[in-house]
Amino acid sequence: MKAIVQNRYGGPEHLRLADLPLPEPGKGQIRVRVLACGVNLSDWEYLVGSPFYARMVGGLWRPKQPVLGSDIVGFIDGLGEGVTGFKPGDRIMGDFVMTRGGFAEFACVPAAQTVAVPDVLSDDIAACLPQAGGIAQAGTEGLSPGLRLLINGAGGGSGTMALQLAKAAGAHVTTVDTGGKVDWLKSLGADEVIDYRQRDFADGNARWDRILDMVATRGPRQIARALSPGGAYKAAGGQVRVLLALVFGGAAYRLRGKSIGMLLVPSGRELTQRVAQMAIGGRMAPHLVGVLPLSDVPEALRRTGQGEVKGKLVIKP
């Protein structure tokens, strides 16, 4: 089978198109003929080996799994030992971030993380949903009308879907991203857009009730200044040292009525089903900006890692 292979940590230049043996599903796994695979920021993290938690999961010195790609949609091609409830030919989807393998013609994934794709969802749209939609759903849970929310790094897949959910909940939404995305984010419904190269949202007098940060770079003191009394900040990703500082340093601000910590996303079958139903019901719609062949994975990852993509890219092997 054809696959894009990673043998070392580094940039997209280290990826290559290769012929690999057809994988055999192990116990509790299914083999999938990949129809589409969404490109996520987590793929970039596993590619470059940073933040450090990517190496903790993916291999300390070199990648344990040579094929990236976790938001997989495909037809079941084979069943491993002990798998029930599925049959060859079923169209499935899932967020397989711990096993990956989607940037290939075939992949073996855990059946326990797999759900059937609703008939009304296309392969490409379904591939945009599991990871990015799960982050968006978890990051906007509990919003109410009039609440002030800031989304830092709002122009990617998770941010744009979080923006939709927040506006549907009646929140006032400020988005932060590069200047090239300002007008576009306004067209998606953002009440205010900040170009992070021109203004640091944490250095002014503005305050927000909730902050959803896709890539944390600030410490708890800066974040606390940007939160309203009783406000809450959640980081979806970032360097390990920053995340640790937020978790442990943020504890000091609880006495002041401000919650600072990480966003815990309960990834798995139940969340994927919930996100798919949200898409069917029109509550969230991924902004799919490109469907690319397997050979374009290096460029797709570069664009995603550099924050250039307005929404989501999908690979179609």
- Reported as a single tens digit per residue, the pLDDT across 37-50 is 999 999 999 999 99
Q: Are 8 and 65 in contact (CB under 8 A)?
A: no
Structure pTM?
0.93
Cα distance between residue 227 and residue 232, in whole Å: 7
Q: Are 2 and 294 in contact (CB under 8 A)?
A: yes
Cα distance between residue 137 and residue 120, in whole Å: 20
Map out the domains of the chain with their CATH numbers: 2-129+286-315 (3.90.180.10), 134-262 (3.40.50.720)
Apex CA 295: angle with CA 159 and CA 276, to 5°? 35
DSSP state of 182: H
Q: With bands split at pLDDT 50, 70 and 90, how would you rate the model's confidence at 267?
A: confident
Q: Are 93 and 246 in contact (CB under 8 A)?
A: no
Cα distance between residue 37 and residue 179, in whole Å: 28
* pLDDT tens-digit readout, 282-291: 999 999 999 9
Would you state the pLDDT for residue 157? 94
